[in-house]
Amino acid sequence: MRVVLLSPSYPNEMSKFARGLAEVGAAVYGVGDTPRSELPDHVKPYLADYLQVPRIMDEADVMDRVSDWLRGRHVDRVLTNWEPLVMLAARLRERWGMPGMSVDTVRGFRDKELMKERLRKAGLRVPRSRRVHTAHEVRAAAEEIGYPLILKPIAGAGSADTYRVDDAAELERAISFLRGVPEASCEEYVDGEEMTFDTLCLRGRPVMENVSLYLPKPLEARQTEWISPMAISIRDLTTPRLQPGLELGRRVLEVLGMQDGFTHMEWFLTPKGEAVFGEIACRPGGAGLVDQMNYTSDIDLYREWARVSCWGHFDADPTRKYNVAVVFKRAKGWGTITRIEGLGSWLRMCGPCVVEERLLRPGNTRRDWQKTQTADGFLMVRHPDWDETLRMARAAATDIQIYAQ
């Protein structure tokens, strides 16, 4: 089994998927724009070969270079788990007549307006929305949809460059921020809790499902610096209030034609108990979500994704044992981190429930919280009881402080 893996070292967690592929017996042919000499040591052992390209986002150039590089060698799969490259992977599969989701299918997971159009036709509840290209079209869509609304790029990832707009003045500001974005989605704002529906699918059927709750909503967390955002994977998926979202998510996969691999969907649970679709991608969630799911069930989804993708079977036991919370921390001040307060007492309080602690230490430069979800590090804690998990996560959010100057 020979696999082309696009961008095996960036973002950092991509190296774990290279490891998974190698561990299930695949020969991994990496393609990326990271110089070969700068590949991290933790990814090099898993690559059978590597092609450096000038610009990984230049699809036509990459397709030609990879085709020349592999001429005369048989390849079985083209894979990636980084959202900007899912279309490139699909185009390479079609060019080479290889198994996997087609360009049209992948486009339904990448183009936020197209995905909503397809789901709307199937009778699923999605926000009212319009595709917009110009400031004039944005204003017309806002008049039709009404305030509050959400303005975001058609092919964006997560909540990057996403704005809640409450009136005409805020609309003008959002338009100015999105200059240079070729097309955007102007959509109805949905009031409710925001959750994920994550899956690993085999022939379109979820063999692993996960629901995580965002606290607060990602958009709110991106707008307020002092917040320590958190996400908690929910152990008990039989909870009645989650069923509308699970049913919606399974139908979304069916309508959009999902085949093999990860999906990451976001949806809203309204105060009336209605599940409303947000968006979906045919890749795993970032910011440690795969690790969070691994800790939920004590499994290795990097390896199981590789097994599904290469050999068509899933071997792990997906029984959910724990609620798992991840808490992202942002330093106060700018410049160099000088101290961390409250970490020791929190670690003593939580004890063996802490599964990861990855805060930046004094001497490191504080990161720009608006450009990275992981900010200045994170903590991850788990417990079978929901209330206890939430208590520990809230303590991490409020009692631990990082300072920079």
Same domain, 220 and 264: yes
Main-chain phi, psi angles of 323, to 5 degrees? -85, 140
Residue 159, pLDDT score: 57
Query: Which tens digit of pLDDT belongs to each residue from 316-369?
Result: 999 999 999 999 999 999 999 999 999 999 999 999 999 999 999 999 999 998
| Mean pLDDT score of the chain | 95
Same domain, 195 and 309: yes
- The domain tally of the chain equals 4
Element spanning 266, H or E: strand 261-269
Q: Which two tokens stand for residue 53?
A: 């390209």
Count of C-beta atoms within a 10 Å radius of residue 136? 10
CA pair distance 128, 276, nearest whole angstrom: 11
- The single-letter DSSP state of residue 226 is T
Q: Which two tokens stand for residue 138?
A: 């944005």
Task: pLDDT band for 373, please (50, 70, 90 cuts).
Answer: confident
Same domain, 117 and 258: yes
CA pair distance 220, 17, nearest whole angstrom: 31
What is the distance, to the nearest Å, from the Cα of residue 397 to the centroid of all Cα atoms in its chain?
Answer: 22
Ranking 26-40, 96-110, 144-158 by mean pLDDT, the lowest is: 144-158
Could you tell me the pTM of the whole model?
0.92
Same domain, 7 and 78: yes
Count of C-beta atoms within a 10 Å radius of residue 81? 28
* Structural domain span for residue 147: 128-188
Q: State the CATH number of the domain containing residue 379.
A: 3.30.470.20
Same domain, 147 and 168: yes
Query: Which tens digit of pLDDT belongs to each residue from 213-254?
Result: 999 988 888 888 999 999 999 999 999 999 999 999 999 999
Query: Which tens digit of pLDDT belongs to each residue from 152-200?
Result: 887 766 556 788 899 999 999 888 888 878 888 899 999 999 999 999 9
Q: State the CATH number of the domain containing residue 177.
A: 3.30.1490.20
